[in-house]
Amino acid sequence: MVRYILKRLGLAIVTIWIVATLTFFLMNMVPGGPFLSEKAVSPKALATLEEKYGLDKPLFEQYITYMKGAVHGDFGDSLKQRGRTVMSIITTKFPVSARVGGLAVLFSFLLGVPLGCISALNRGKAGDNAIIVIATCGIAVPSFVVCTVLMYIFGVRLKWLPTLGLSTWKNYIMPIAALAFYPTAYITRLMRSSMLDVLGQDYMRTARAKGLNQFISLFKHALRNAVLPVVTYLGPLLAYTVTGSFIVEKIFTIPGLGGEFIGSITSRDYTVIMGTTIFLAALMVIMNVIVDIVYKLVDPRIKLK
């Protein structure tokens, strides 16, 4: 197990390095630069700025310098938000996104798994149909629509919930609901199909045949097997959701990391693009390792090698 984890971590570092390298060269291939604006900055000022941030050096040299810094945990200064380091942007904005995103994942798991089970156990009945219809909607409706509808009903019309910021617990309700909508629907469907799969297995029939309490057979045998695909999905979902959603953060004015991903690309803030990408890649890889370990705990038959 320990050897397995070490091997995975080694692979993780290689993966992150590849992602960082690709991002570095791709972003420099895109036209534009961080210091261009509608009004021309004087050539002199532009030259000093590029010198200050080392952008006047050959690309490969910039790459080496950046990588050296990154290995030592120095992700540099933001080129656009002068006075802020990339690290400070990530450390102030990630906790906000993680709080909202983590709660959304928690809710979608706690809601999606039971709904999927209920649906599977009532296959073909009214309850199943209703859940399937709602879940399909959840997958089909894009999040900006969910956000706008929620905002209009609860914020503008009923005035029950505040529409911007995160100053009170009430502010969390709409963004979490909007973020949890899709994953809840997805987990419900995933859970339903894998549950149906498991219920048709021989060992379930055996359990029923030997007169095992239905409740025990469901929880002890069916659920543990059926929940595996959900666990697989949970890893990447968590990594994506805790790093923030651009759309949800923009609509509810949440100071999270999601906006930085897109904002840094449109403004060509090279150091922030690199920092956030490496951060997301690292989180993603770590989540996948955790999922593998959880897998083993849920299903002892799985051997980690």
Residues 240-279 that bind another protein (CB under 8 A): 242, 249-256, 259, 266-268
Report the residue number, 139 or 265, with the smaller CB distance to another protein. Answer: 265
8 near another protein, rule: CB under 8 A: no
Give the interface size with another protein as a residue count (CB under 8 A). Answer: 76
Q: Least Å distance between CB 292 and another protein?
A: 12
Phi, psi dihedrals of residue 42, rounded to the nearest 5°? -60, 145
Work out how close the CB of 232 gets to another protein at its nearest, in angstroms, rounded to a whole number.
12
Choose between 73 and 83: whose C-beta lies nearer to another protein.
83
Q: How far apart are CA 49 and CA 71, in angstroms?
A: 25
Structure-token pair, residue 36: 């261009």
Q: Is 152 in the site for another protein (CB under 8 A)?
A: yes
- Contact set for another protein, span 80-119 (CB under 8 A): 80-84, 89, 92-96, 98-99, 101-103, 105-106, 109
| Interacting residues with another protein between 171 and 210 (CB under 8 A) | none
Cα dist from 189 to 226, 229, 244, 298, 302, whole Å:
12, 11, 24, 20, 24
Closest by CA position to 8, among listed 239, 286, 233:
286
Within 8 A by CB and 6+ apart from 149, the residues are none
Longest dimension (CA), the chain: 85
User: Of residues 18-77, which lie at the interface with another protein (CB under 8 A)?
Assistant: 30-33, 36-46, 48-49, 52, 77
Q: How far is the CB of 6 from another protein (least distance, A)?
A: 20
CB of 131 to another protein, least distance (A): 22
User: Which ranges constitute the DSSP H helices of 78-227?
Assistant: 86-121, 126-140, 143-150, 170-199, 202-209, 214-216, 224-226
CA angle, corner 288, sides to 284 and 289, nearest 5?
120
User: 304 is written with which tokens?
Assistant: 């980690």
Query: Given the complex with another protein, which of 123 and 176 has the nearer CB atom?
Result: 176
Binding piece for another protein, criterion CB under 8 A, among 7-15, 64-72, 116-124, 145-153: 145-153
To another protein, the closest distance from the beta carbon of 48 in angstroms equals 4
CB of 174 to another protein, least distance (A): 11
